Amino acid sequence: MKTPDADVKPLVHPDEFVDLDEIIHLCTGGEAPWLKIQEKVFAEFAQLKSAGYDGRSKIYARGEQCRQKMGKLWKVPAHRIAFMPSAAEGMNWLARGLDWREGDNVVTTNLEFPSVAYAWKHLRSQGVDIRLIPHSNWMVNEIDLLNATDDRTRVLAVSHVSFYTGQCLNLEQLSEGIRDYHTLLAVDATHSSGVVEVAAELTDLTVSSSYKWMLATHGVAPCYFSERAETETKVTCFGWHNLSVWPEQGAERLANAPEKPMPGKLEPGNPAMLVVMHLDQALEILLSVGTAKISDHARSLSKQVSDGLKDLGFIVISPQNYDSRSGNTCFQLSNAKEMQNQLAARGILCWGEYGRVRISTHLYNGSNDVRRFLEVLSELK
Ligand SMILES: Cc1ncc(COP(=O)(O)O)c(C=O)c1O
């Protein structure tokens, strides 16, 4: 007899979010809901923004506070994390800054998010081989990636958690597997940061959007850069913020200006400080609940989603073992967009496209949401 799954309760009440009282929100993998407390942050920003120099100093202080929190979340020194405008920019920074030679290669997968797969687009014409390693029945095998890596692999670029299947790759295995090569490990943590543990210290670059599992919004993507990545990468964008011009120079420019170290190095101009303040607020909540608890919660719910889907006869393409699961559970459906719309019409939000439906479970979801979703799905099937 099948043992019933434990009843998982939300870790943060859905009432803490805008408009979650009437709907079941299962689409943080696309767009997270907005925390009501962010209204206060917006009001505070508005006051500080109008308060001249003093207000600006306070905004910057909040930025540094946010950096410290990101360091805690990713367990790396805060000063190695910069605020970039998008996750795409992180990968591209590496692509633009490395000293590429003909015959070099990049290893990634054919199931990657476009910014990870195509950051290297211009390098093909310089004789760099971009290796799109095929997935195997929707799973990316770490061994396949490592077998494709050789002594000319400059970058192994992957998403920590797949946008398409929710598979969580084993970063330890990848970082260990490339140890004998001079390969940088570049990771897009957009679908892991905020929901599963991100061991950024195993990587040379970890970048994540903040509008999904980190519960903030568009315009800021924290980016960890290892010492090695910093040493090997030329800065490709200069501005007042990443050069030592003030107080060293006054009004007039000298012929040259030294580059600042991390984290300023990757921030040529002002980051989107309003969003940084929203991220700071969201991280306060995520850190107070704790990543270990959130990740166990999300993985337990994803198992309930997955088991329920299989019982209904759907083909689940997300991994079944605990460590490879994440907050995303996905199943195949040719009319995925239509199913998304039908569920939305019944108050259940998910994300459906490109032949699969993605069900995302985060800290405001519980078993009740999963049961209701499966009930409605079985009626629509
Ligand atoms: C893996 C992954 N990376 C990045 C993004 C988007 O990030 P950004 O707009 O910050 O580049 C997405 C959005 O769906 C994603 O799934």
- Average pLDDT of the segment spanning 341-368: 98
Residues comprising the chain, all counted = 381
Tell me, what amino acid is at 374?
L
Residue 77: pLDDT band with limits 50, 70, 90: very high
How far is Cα 365 from Cα 33, in angstroms, rounded to an integer? 12
| End-of-domain residue from the set 242, 269, 287 | 287
How far is Cα 178 from Cα 172, in angstroms, rounded to an integer? 10
Ligand 1, pocket-test mutation among 108, 162, 163, 211, most atoms within 8 A of CB = 163
pLDDT above 50 for 281? yes
Q: Name the closest-CA residue to atom 9, ligand 1.
A: 86
- Average pLDDT of the segment spanning 119-142: 98
166 and 315 belong to one structural domain: no
Calculate ∠ Cα 69-72-78, nearest 5°. Answer: 70
Residue 4: pLDDT band with limits 50, 70, 90: low
DSSP 271: -
- Average pLDDT of the segment spanning 115-141: 98
pLDDT of residue 308: 98
- Average pLDDT of the segment spanning 135-154: 98
- Average pLDDT of the segment spanning 300-309: 98
Distance of CA 139 to the CA centre of its chain: 19
Domain membership flag for residue 2: no
Contact (Cβ atoms closer than 8 angstroms) between residue 197 and residue 292: yes
Ligand 1 binding residues, C-beta < 6 A: 86-88, 113, 115, 159, 163, 188, 190-191, 209, 221
SS3 state of residue 306: helix
How far is Cα 115 from Cα 96, in angstroms, rounded to an integer? 14
Domain with 155, as residue range(s), is 40-287
Distance 113 CA to ligand 1 centre (A): 7
pLDDT of residue 231: 96
Task: Give percent of the chain above pLDDT 70.
Answer: 99
Alpha carbon separation from 279 to 2, 44, 264 (Å, rounded): 42, 14, 18
Query: Total structural domains in the chain?
Result: 2
Domain membership flag for residue 242: yes
Instruction: Give the nearest ligand 1 atom to 89 CA.
Output: 11
221 and 304 belong to one structural domain: no
How far is Cα 58 from Cα 41, in angstroms, rounded to an integer? 13
| End-of-domain residue from the set 287, 322, 348 | 287
Distance 226 CA to ligand 1 centre (A): 21
Q: Return mean pLDDT, the chain.
A: 97
What is the three-state SS of 108-146? EECCCCHHHHHCCHHHHHHCCEEEEECCECCECCHHHHH
Domain membership flag for residue 91: yes
Residue 3: pLDDT band with limits 50, 70, 90: low
DSSP 200: G
- Average pLDDT of the segment spanning 15-39: 97
44 and 24 belong to one structural domain: no
**Rounded to the nearest 5°, which phi and psi values hold at 159?**
-85, 140
- Average pLDDT of the segment spanning 223-240: 97
- Average pLDDT of the segment spanning 230-258: 95
Domain membership flag for residue 5: no
Task: Give percent of the chain above pLDDT 90.
Answer: 98
Q: Find out whether the peptide bond into 263 is cis, omega within 30 degrees of 0.
A: yes
pLDDT of residue 6: 84
247 and 162 belong to one structural domain: yes
Q: Which residues does 340 contact at the CB level (< 8 Å), separation at least 6?
A: 350, 351, 352, 353, 357
Distance 176 CA to ligand 1 centre (A): 26
296 and 214 belong to one structural domain: no
pLDDT above 70 for 2? no
- Average pLDDT of the segment spanning 287-309: 98
Query: Tens digits of per-residue pLDDT, 96-107?
Result: 999 999 999 999
- Average pLDDT of the segment spanning 29-45: 98
Domain membership flag for residue 249: yes
pLDDT of residue 213: 98
Ligand 1, pocket-test mutation among 84, 116, 192, 209, most atoms within 8 A of CB = 209
| End-of-domain residue from the set 262, 287, 312 | 287
Task: Give the alpha-carbon dihedral of 165, 168, 170, 172, to 10 degrees.
Answer: 150
321 and 194 belong to one structural domain: no
Distance 316 CA to ligand 1 centre (A): 23
Tell me, what amino acid is at 309?
L
pLDDT of residue 1: 43
